[in-house]
Structure 1
Amino acid sequence: MSSYYWFMVEKSYKKFTSDVVFTNDTYVIIGSGVGGLTTAVFLAKAGKKVVVLEQHYTPGGFTHTFKRRKGLVWDVGVHYVGNMEENSGLRRIFNYLSDNKLEWDPMGDPYDVAFVGGRKFEFVSGKENFRKKFHEYFPNDKNAIDKYLELLEKSTKKNLLYFVQKALPGLLNTVLGPIFRRIQKPIASKTTYQVLSSITDNQELIAVLCAQCGNYGLSPKESSFASHCIVINHFMEGGYYPRGGANRIHQTIIDNLESLGVKVFIKANVEKIITKGKSVKGLLINGKEFSCKKVISNAGAYNTFQRLLDSSVNNKKHIDFRSIKPSTCHLCLYIGLDKSDAELKLPKYNIWWYADKDTDSILNDKDNLSKDQLSFAYISFPSAKDSLWSTKHPDQSTIQLIGRAWYKDFRAYEDKPWLNRGEEYDKIKDQFKEKGLSLLRELYPHLEEHIIHAEVSTPVSTKKFSNYNEGEIYGVTHAPERYKTRVLRPRTHIKGLFLTGQDITLVGVGGAMGSGILTATTIIKWNMSKQFKEISAKY
């Protein structure tokens, strides 16, 4: 971001100080994203001592929001969440995490719209509604569409078994782990394009079925079909948005944690996990050593193994990330307008815009920044999705436009000072801004005279605020190689060190929440059944 106002937040959180003391039975969680917060709630409910550390001025990871002078607000990572219909399992768990304080607004139908080569396609909630809609779009490909939906349905249990085996203890993991992974392997080892091209040769249909692939950050020929299935199934019943904004996710969960006696500290920069032999000994925080025996890292697998741990405690399988690439990075254009979304007739649905049906070429065009026009964009209308927006921000609305980026184009600026990275850097941002505004004018020409703010964030912005090495937004890649490694699981080879977060499961709020459950299950084991019974009965 290129403004001094990134960290304007509505609630103040306690800063970490040098007099904080951890007991030997305290679980210290590094990172306050959804994965870390979910783990914290389940552990606290099980009677464990928990502390959460956040390096930045505001907690929440990619659920936080930022403001500008005119009171405009944007989310930075949560654009919509699936499986949030009333009484769904995910909805019940978030009710549990937030003590029923987190509410959701449905986006309605369509919840996504794809423009592929000038043709418009609507994504609607419900499998049968989806089937009917796509039969209308592709009347000669009904059998392929039916087969696709069948594959999605069959993938659910296979993916569930894959994630369950990550939390199995000792002997159970040794016996059942290989079996569960083998069951999932056929869908994990193939790319999305390989599977879809086996059921249809209609390239336009494949492009449209993969139009939402930006949700996991890889094109059809790169992504694992397992990743594709999880994300598409997640949104099959439509999209939802946190009522009051994305920051309500972490705010309500942290409020619940504080009622459970859990402290959440900001400005706690964990520089190192200190080990003795193969056991956790302590943490180096803000330049000072603190003794602790139990650490849960929500900082990402790469950061944990490559940055926070000494290389001497890693063996080859834990330090070799050459086969597990980082996910995609992005440019984002944040737009503010001087009229309400109702007056401007802004939609609740998201737009996936592709210049043509060759989505792989579009999403893998490493020279895209030099082109005169955008060939891909994702457009979100956060103010239109939030039913409380107009009460706090009358006569205002917001839009976000995202494009794919390549870190090679920004590496030269990563060590330059924030807000002062030079003219060439600013030129790249200005060019993307103009191309983004040009596309927006093409889609919504009436918005031109109402734009009062427009700025761009880049991968180095993401790196600064998230600590991801190449400004990636989805952790490690969602390609087939993700499913081959045994590193991405809650329990590590270091005694007292656990992992949580999207690298353990999958991208997104739902994925991060699932990782928190897996990590908590790994630690408290069968006692988790008590909490699941409570969720079923009360939430």
Structure 2
Amino acid sequence: MKTDYLIVGSGLSALVFGSLMAKAGRTVRILEAHEYPGGYGHTFTMAKKYRFNAQLHYVWDCGEGQTVNRVLKKLELDQDVTFERYDPNGFDHMRMPGYSLDIPSEPEELIKRLSELFPSHSDRIRQFVYEVEKTGAGLKKLSPPFHLRELLNHSGEVFCAVQYLNSTLQDVFNKFRLPQAAQTLLALQWPDFLLPPNQLSFYAWVALFRGYQAGAFYPTQHFEHVINSLVKVIESHGGQILLNHEVMNFRVTDRTVTGVEAMNLSTHQTHEFSGNHVICNIDPQTAAKMIGESQFSPSVRQKLKYDYSASNYMAYCVVKDLDLRDYGFGKWNLSHTGHENLNEAFTQMYERNDYSNPSFAITTPSLLTEVGKDCPEDCQIVEFLTVANYDYFKQLRQSDHKAYGRKKEEILNAILDVVEEHYIPTFRQHMVFHITGSPTTNERFCWSPAGNSYGSSLTPKNMGLGRLNHKTSLNHFSFCNASSGYPGFAPTFWTGALLYQRLSGDVLLGSA
């Protein structure tokens, strides 16, 4: 049966697009190679009693009237899929030798706290924070769908944003001559990008930093409920999500994509699926190679030359008979570095694979909501995240699987040494379960090329005017994923909703 929309991949932007189209009365079918829907948003269970989300930790743009809320209202899910806000007085706790800073929601309070730490630089700090606010306002006006009148009415903010098109975060730190320690404290949520300041697009940092200031959130019923709710909308409106179906090829006739061939990984049988419009949620580079890059226009081929983002190391841990709130944890994340310079910290870990002085993030999902426990009552979940080099781990896993396992444990122990020295002295005594993931884990379980965490790398080059969007130059074929939109929970909601708006004409985010 030919469907209105055949969607390849079930990542978050695909589920948002599919649920909106299904709710609007279109027929939708999604093919997913994995056993779970949701891409990096999926939840897995270990030891039959511990639940972990693959990659999502905290999210933004979920407040009243913001993107996620608008989509959920459209789907009539806003009363069921709700969110708990992180502490606005300090949603990110930044820790480094000699300094600590809790990032508040209010910019003026941030200026005050930084000025107390660096009194001789208070004017520069204020100027920097104001520039961030102005750039963020400009970027919002420049985000599609945008209006010429709005751009003209806010020309100051727009010009401020445009001047940083090719700037890294480090460039702007240097412009305002911020002290090194202040730079590190402001950039310490770098695991959200897996890039250091001297490579990270200033645009990417501003969007996320200001997004979390406006409200950092965690789903009341965990991420699994978000994914399941979107799936339910699709299925309750006659749509289908076929898991364990890997797309092997795209059918293209006269520059028109008409369908795909997919293998059922359970039966190893191949089937053909067709759609009036094919939506590509899998990696665009991968899809382009399957279709044949020569089929695409020169401009699209150029945009497909993006670099993949770096990959990450994850440790999912469970502690028993230990209340993390007694040790300073709560409705916030904690980021730690032993280096004063994050550029050097990144080089040590990513390029030299040396984790003897690790920089990492800690998140504690068990403390963020009282609903839908992810572990037994006497346990709490703790997760650690840092950067990792895909090529190194791939080679290690292929050449010496035991050495690969030892390296993952070595990184965990380096992190736990820091945790026990600075935060929770008896952590290992209470740890009753742990499992670690590397870049090759991302590749195997999330079908992520080169283990990338965010699609294309968030450098100025990849965030500029030549960034890939939904347009493919082929008929009835659109991209819809992190590399053709933006990565992260809220940005993928936006990507899926924007494509829905463009193809349906139903105004959800602004003028179509």
Fold shared, TM-score > 0.5 on shorter chain = yes
5+ residue gaps, structure 2:
148-156, 264-269
For the residues of structure 2 that align with 1:409 and 1:392, how far apart are their CA atoms? 33
Partner of 1:395: 378
For the 8 Å contact 1:98–1:256, the answer to whether it is kept is no
- Match in the other structure for 1:117: 97
Partner secondary structure for residue 462 of structure 2: helix
Range moving further from structure 2, 464-473 or 119-128: 119-128
SS across alignment from 2:251: strand
How far 1:344 sits from its partner (Å)?
A: 5.5
- Higher mean displacement: 337-346 or 499-508: 337-346
| 2:471 aligned partner | 491
Q: What is the aligned counterpart of 1:56 among 1, 16, 34?
A: 34
Instruction: Show the counterpart of 2:311.
Output: 329
Alpha-carbon distance in 1 for matches of 2:92, 2:22: 37
Q: Tell me the residue number matched to 2:221.
A: 244
2:36 aligned with 1:71, yes or no? no
Candidates 394, 403, 410, aligned match of 1:431: 410
Q: Summarize the alignment of residues 22-421 of structure 1 with structure 2, pairs less than 5 Å apart.
A: 22-23=2-3, 26-69=4-47, 71-97=49-75, 99-100=77-78, 101-108=80-87, 109-164=89-144, 184-286=161-263, 287-306=270-289, 308-319=290-301, 324-339=306-321, 341=323, 345=327, 346-365=329-348, 371=354, 373-388=356-371, 390=373, 393-412=376-395
2:433 pairs with one of 453, 474, 477: 453
* Structure 1 Cα separation of the partners of residues 76 and 321 of structure 2: 33
Q: Deviations over 1:29-73 (max 9, x none)?
A: 112222111112332343322222221111111111122216122
* DSSP-derived class of the 2:316 partner: strand
Q: Match of 1:188, SS?
A: coil
Per-residue CA deviation, residues 155-187 of structure 1 (Å, 9 max, x unaligned), is 23432344316x99xxxxxxxxxxx99985422
* SS of 1:232 mapped into structure 2: helix
CA distance in 1, matches of 2:484, 2:457: 12
Asked if structure 2 preserves the Cα contact closer than 8 Å seen for 1:369 and 1:432, the reply is: no
Give the aligned CA root-mean-square deviation in angstroms: 2.8
| 1:474/1:507 contact within 8 Å kept | yes
**SS class of match (1:151):** helix
Provide the C-alpha distance between the structure 2 equivalents of 1:476 and 1:484, rounded to a whole number of angstroms: 12
Contact 1:75 1:382 in 2 (8 A): no
Amino acid of the structure 1 residue aligned with 2:360: A
Residue 342 of structure 1, CA deviation: 5.9
Aligned residue pairs total 493
Q: Structure 2: which amino acid aligns with 1:385? A: L
Q: Which moved more, 1:385-394 or 1:108-117?
A: 385-394
Residue 444 (structure 1) shift: 0.7
Q: Is the 8 A contact 1:38 1:517 kept in 2?
A: yes
Whichever residue aligns with residue 262 of structure 2, its letter is I
Name the CA distance, whole Å, in 1 between partners of 2:103 and 2:69: 21
**Measured at CA, do residues 160 and 85 of structure 1 come closer, stay the same or move farther in structure 2, by a change above 3 Å?**
closer
Amino acid at match of 2:39: G
Q: Which residue of 1 aligns with 2:153?
A: none
With 514-523 and 457-466 compared, the bigger mean Cα shift is at 514-523
Moved more, 340-349 or 433-442: 340-349
Whole-Å Cα distance in 2 between the matches of residues 183 and 310 of structure 1? 40
**Which amino acid counterpart does residue 261 of structure 1 have in structure 2?**
G
Instruction: State the alpha-carbon separation in 1 of the partners of residues 45 and 220 from structure 2.
Output: 17
SS of match in other structure, 1:362: helix
| In structure 1, C-alpha distance between the alignment counterparts of 2:510 and 2:76, rounded to whole Å | 15
Q: Is the 8 A contact 1:83 1:238 kept in 2?
A: yes
Does the C-alpha gap of structure 1 residues 323 and 268 become closer, same or farther in structure 2, counting only changes over 3 Å?
A: closer
Determine whether 1:422 maps to 2:401. yes
Structure 2: distance between partners of 1:181 and 1:34: 30
CA distances 1:469-499 after superposition (whole Å, capped 9, x unpaired)? 2101111011111134545111211111111
Structure 2 counterpart of 1:406, which letter? N
Taking only the aligned residue pairs, the percentage that are identical comes to 19
SS in 1 for 2:127: helix
Aligned to 2:152: none
Structure 1 portions without partners, runs of 5+: 1-20, 169-179, 534-539
Contact 1:190 1:225 in 2 (8 A): yes
What amino acid maps onto 1:459 in structure 2?
A: P
Quick one: structure 1 residues 257 and 164, their matched pair in 2 at CA, closer, same or farther if it must change by over 3 Å?
A: same
CA contact under 8 A between 1:31 and 1:52: conserved in structure 2? yes
Q: Name the CA shift for 1:118/1:304 in 2 (closer, same or farther; >3 Å).
A: farther
1:440 and 2:419 are equivalent in the alignment: yes
Alpha-carbon offset, residue 413 of structure 1: 5.3
Please list the CA deviations of residues 266-300 of structure 1 after superposition, one character each: whole Å capped at 9, or x if unmatched.
11211222211211022011133323331111113
1:351/1:380 contact within 8 Å kept: yes
Structure 2 residue aligned with 1:5: none
Do the aligned partners of residues 361 and 343 (structure 1) sit closer, same or farther apart at CA in structure 2, a change above 3 Å counting?
closer
Q: Secondary structure at the match of 1:246?
A: helix
Per-residue deviation, residues 195-246 of structure 1 (Å, max 9, x unmatched): 1211124111122111122212211110111111111111013421111222
Q: Is the 8 A contact 2:349 2:358 kept in 1?
A: no
Q: What amino acid is the match of 1:218?
A: L
Deviates most, 363-372 or 394-403 = 363-372
Paired with 2:344 and 2:143, the residues of 1 have a C-alpha distance of 32
For the 8 Å contact 2:303–2:468, the answer to whether it is kept is no
Q: Which AA in structure 2 matches 1:329? A: S
Could you say what secondary structure the match of 2:436 adopts? strand
For residues 221 and 488 of structure 1, do their structure 2 counterparts lie closer, same or farther at Cα, with a shift above 3 Å needed?
same
